[in-house]
Structure 1
Amino acid sequence: MSAMVPVLLSLMLVLGPAVPQETQDGPYSLTYSSSGISMPKEGFPSFQATGYLNDQAFFHYDSESEKAEPLGPWKQVKEIEDWEQLSKFQKARGDFFLQNLKDIMGYYKDTGNHTMQEKYGCKLCNNNYCGAFWTVAYDGRDYIKFNTEIPAWIPLQPEAVNTKVKWETEGSVQRAKASLEEECTQKLQKYLQYSRPFLDRQDTPSVSITSHVDPGNIRILKCLAYNFYPRPVSMYWTQADRAVESESWGEGPLSENGTYESWVVVKIPSSDRDPYSCHVQHSSLAQPLTVPWNDRQ
């Protein structure tokens, strides 16, 4: 891991200087999510990494293909990245990543198959730095994180004290702080030149209502909003213009077409003939969308 900081810094240098550009309020985020496994099986790479702009994955790398490749709409934006250089960087980073996993296994005196996960990134608000994060997990448990305010590595497990001492002795603290607060934000500003149309878009939700009666003679009304972006949405039911407490609600992950879905459910007596309506509020709508339901549906 000690070598991961200079490697990340080299990424910023190799791939060229960032050119600041005015952005909307944001916030915008750039996240590198990586994982490694000590004893990979066929079809499960020993190291893989995905880059995210806000909630959207824009590239993926794995140690089997040894290629960093653009994802989604970024496949059409050739200028955003030098993919050959990024592939070389991720290959070198994967080697360091797996060495750090081996070191951590040694601190635990572990053998066999173990995993390490890392999330590294920064945020921009009004085109200015407004936060960063660098966390490492071992076998799914938080292991160590970097605090930019102190600055220092913060151990989250007793064994992580060994990692803290090793990395800080090797001088990673100031490099990590600069990497997060300066280089990462510059990189994000560069990416935003090519990505704002994808990140700032407003996709209006479609809405459907389904109804069925369960064995207990209770009618279940489900209101589904789908194909919308960005994620924040508000949904609720009314009965004759009075708000009704929802029985349950849920939301789905980002779909392959880059949109979200969410739903809200109410349960009513099957004999209820009052009018019910589902209301959906989203940033793409000038006013809330109201979809009525009646017992003939």
Structure 2
Amino acid sequence: MVPVLLSLPLLLGPAVLPETGPYSLIFLYTGLSRPSKGFPRFQATAFLNDQAFFRYNSNSRKAEPVGLWSQVEEMEDWEKESQLQRAREEIFLVTLKDVMDYYEDSAGSHTFQGMFGCELSNNRSSGAFWRYAYDGQDFIEFNKEIPAWIPLDPAAANTKQKWEAEKVYVQRAKAYLEEECPAMLKRYLSYSRSHLDQKDPPTVTITSRATPGRNRIFKCLAYDFYPQGISLHWNQAGKMPASESRGVFPSGNGTYLSWVEVEVPAQDRDPYFCHVEHSGLSQSLSVQWDEAKRAKAESKVATRPQ
């Protein structure tokens, strides 16, 4: 039995794309030994870059496009994709059971996850990976250079033996990562590039609040931007004061938000600028806290009825 996340044969013509990217095609699988009520035992999501474009689960037994891709015709034969995902589901859950049997823990609640995919940059394959985790810990991964499955957990030695029972299975896994996955990604990009290439610049606002020690906290918030790569930092008199970044988070509408904070001594009246760099901006952006607006806001707070 193979780890077969190998897909059905593809009949792909040559695809010519402008030099750009990177673009990625990633599949995320999750199997649960004891799913909670309302949760499927197995589910799969496919991503183009950071955008989910189809989902499958063991309840519906159907692979279905999501978001903008539900409006794209002929991007995929969804019945064939559903058949493929059903086959992957069966193998995936068998592997989960094998691991539980190894640890003699069939009564517990356990999770098995798989992630695999490839990347294109300048119309060439620039990376691929295939790995699994059991209960959140690394389990096994594929090294396409050897090629071989590398056990990362005691139970994975049995999985490796099963998956490498015939040499052809290893070669097929290598071919999937190096040939089939990039070819599939190129085909999907012929339908999706305009969406994945969108660049929405961030809207930037700065707020201020007082700390118990009477210092001030300046917060620079950038939101409604895409793609998610962004650089935010504070600048004061040509220096970068110590600041705290909160990372990048989805906004829920297909865009992202991020913010960075800096603590300023109450007596410090030097100007502070939030410096922003993003691919949606024609040039970097520096935004200064508006002292007039700050004074007006603080005046409203001071006169508010107690």
Q: Smaller-chain TM-score range?
A: over 0.9
Whole-Å Cα distance in 1 between the matches of residues 174 and 220 of structure 2?
46
2:261 maps to 1:269? no
1:65 paired with 2:31, answer no
2:73 aligned residue? 78
The aligned counterpart of 1:256 is: 252
Structure ranking higher in strand proportion: 1
Amino acid at match of 1:193: S
Q: Does 2:192 align with 1:195? A: yes
Deviation at 1:259, TM superposition (A): 1.2
Separation of aligned partners in 2, 1:28 and 1:161: 33
1:225 and 2:219 equivalent?
Answer: no
Deviations 1:7-55 (A, max 9, x none): 6232x43xx4354221433121111100001122321110000001111
Distance 2:14 2:54 in 1: 21
Native 8 Å contact 1:246 1:264 kept in 2: no
Instruction: Work out whether 1:211 is the aligned partner of 2:208.
Output: yes
Q: Which residue of 2 aligns with 1:237?
A: 234
Within the alignment, does 1:185 sit opposite 2:182 as a pair? Answer: yes
1:29 aligned onto 2:30: no
Number of residue equivalences: 291
Query: 1: CA distance between counterparts of 2:59 and 2:241?
Result: 50
Aligned equivalents of 2:152, 2:193: Cα separation in 1: 36
Amino acid across the alignment from 1:290:
S
Residue in structure 1 matched with residue 2 of structure 2 by the alignment:
3
SS of the residue corresponding to residue 176 of structure 1 reads: helix
User: Tell me, what secondary structure is at the counterpart of 1:169?
Assistant: coil
Q: Structure 1 segments of 4 or more deviating over 4 A? A: none
Deviation at 1:104, TM superposition (A): 1.6
SS in 1 for 2:249: coil
Aligned equivalent of 1:50, options 40, 45, 49:
45
Secondary structure in structure 2 of the residue aligned to 1:286: coil
Deviation, structure 1 residue 85 = 2.3
Q: Which amino acid aligns with 1:86?
A: E
Larger radius of gyration: 2
Unaligned residue ranges in structure 2 (runs of 5+)? 295-306
The 3 A distance-change label for structure 1 pair 182 and 82 is same
Helix, strand or coil at the partner of 1:253 = strand
- Where 1:117 maps in the other structure, the secondary structure is strand
Give 1:252 shift: 3.0
Distance 1:254 1:38, change over 3 A: same
Q: Please state whether the residue corresponding to 1:134 is helix, strand or coil.
A: strand
Deviation at 1:219, TM superposition (A): 0.4
Q: Which amino acid aligns with 1:65?
A: S
Percent identity, aligned pairs only?
Answer: 54
Please give the alpha-carbon distance, in whole angstroms, between the structure 1 residues aligned to 2:284 and 2:106: 56
Paired letter, 1:287: Q
Q: Deviations over 1:139-162 (max 9, x none)?
A: 111000000000000001122111
**Aligned pairs for 1:83-98 within 5 A:** 83-98=78-93
CA distance in 1, matches of 2:249, 2:82: 28
Once the two structures are superposed, the pairs formed by residues 35-184 of structure 1 within 5 Å of their partners are 35-112=30-107, 113-171=109-167, 172-184=169-181
Which of 1 and 2 has higher RCO (CA within 8 Å, sep 6+)? 1
Say whether the 8 Å CA contact 2:2–2:162 is kept in structure 1. no
Query: Tell me, which stretches of 5 or more residues in structure 1 are unaligned?
Result: none
Cα deviation for residue 108 of structure 1 reads 2.0
Alignment RMSD: 1.6
Confirm or deny: 8 A CA contact 1:275 1:294 kept in the other structure: no
Q: Which letter maps to 2:20?
A: D
Q: Deviations over 1:234-262 (max 9, x none)?
A: 112222x4223232012233332221111
